[in-house]
Amino acid sequence: MQVPAPFDYERATSVDDAIGLLARLGATARLVAGGHSLLPMMKLRLAHFEYLVDINDLHGELGYVKVEPTRIRIGAMTRHRELLESPELLSSFPIFHDAERVIADPLVRNRGTIGGALCQADPSEDLSAVCTAVDASCVIRGLDGERVVSMAEFYRGPYETAVGNAEMLTEVRFPVRPHGSSAYEKVGRRAGDWPVVSCGVAAWVEGGVITDARVGLAAVGPNTTGIPAISQALRGRAPSEDLYAEAGAIAAAYCAPVTDQRGSAAYKRHLAAELTRRALRRAVARIDGREV
């Protein structure tokens, strides 16, 4: 059994309480949500914090998937499993279901949260690619109130985000537009493994042409970011295998993978292209009702 160094523990009763505790305890305090990223780091003694502020009691306040006419809002404490099992998300943004099926294992999904996943900012984090594809914004709350940042602004580098010391992520929200669908493709070395590369796509098709499409690639750079060049290349054009291949080529050119135990940089670059093609193909097929 791996054991962490000593730390003190507080249990927040509300979002305001959590932020207050963080403000009072300073930089040596960390929020703990599902704990599936934080605790292993502490047990391996790669990270040490003097205080943990447990926000699991905020699941009532921050655990939700709310579908509104023009947007969907997901509370930061919503667990992977709740995303996987949400019928609303399955019908409007199947990308969540696709991705959650292949994130970690049931144990991790039972506890791990979308807030923890995004705030961990692991370069291989799957939900970051999902949120990038659906054009999500992150709601960050601090002592002075809320601010909303785009996914691109949210990430500041590997394991770094825009969330400041006495702040927390409370919500992820993204627009709902008609005539669209989404899909997620991932290659891992084994079930439950982090992606070698994964790719999320959201696309909208009207009158036989793509009106918009967004791609998010995980594990091929310091952070997941959108690839505007792909969106530009796709807009206004009729979906076709050639077009998907073109998008894939842009993805491959755009990404910056490194060789590691999960795979060579060349292979990852290849996957960026291949998975972009596959995810686009599937998202468009879903819009056409050809696939679910």
Ligand X SMILES: Cc1cc2nc3c(=O)[nH]c(=O)nc-3n(C[C@H](O)[C@H](O)[C@H](O)COP(=O)(O)OP(=O)(O)OC[C@H]3O[C@@H](n4cnc5c(N)ncnc54)[C@H](O)[C@@H]3O)c2cc1C
List residues binding other proteins (CB under 8 A): 1-3, 5-6, 44-45, 187, 189-194, 196, 261-264, 266-268, 270-271, 274-275, 278
Report if residue 73 touches ligand X, rule: CB under 6 A. Answer: no
CA separation for the pair 19, 82 (Å, rounded): 25
Q: With both helix axes pointing from N to C terminus, report the angle between 94-101 and 126-133 in degrees, rounded to the nearest 10.
A: 170
Min dist. Cβ of residue 216 to other proteins (A): 18
The residue at minimum Cβ distance from ligand X is: 116
Among other proteins, ligand X, none, partner that 169 touches (CB below 5 to 8 angstroms by kind) = ligand X
Among other proteins, ligand X, none, partner that 190 touches (CB below 5 to 8 angstroms by kind) = other proteins
**C-beta of 105 vs 153, nearer to other proteins:** 105
Question: CA of 105: how far to CAs of 82, 112, 131, 214, 288, in Å?
Answer: 14, 10, 20, 27, 31
In which region does residue 35 sit, left (phi positive, over 0), alpha (psi from -120 to 50) or beta (all else)? left
Largest CA distance in the chain: 61
Min dist. Cβ of residue 191 to other proteins (A): 4
Binding string, 169-208, against ligand X, x = CB under 6 A? x----------------------x-x--------------
**C-beta of 75 vs 195, nearer to other proteins:** 195
Tokens of 184: 């997620």
96-135 residues near ligand X, rule: CB under 6 A? 103-104, 108, 111-113, 115-117, 119-120, 125-127
CA separation for the pair 251, 268 (Å, rounded): 11
Binding residues for ligand X, per CB under 6 A? Answer: 30-38, 76, 103-104, 108, 111-113, 115-117, 119-120, 125-127, 163, 168-169, 192, 194
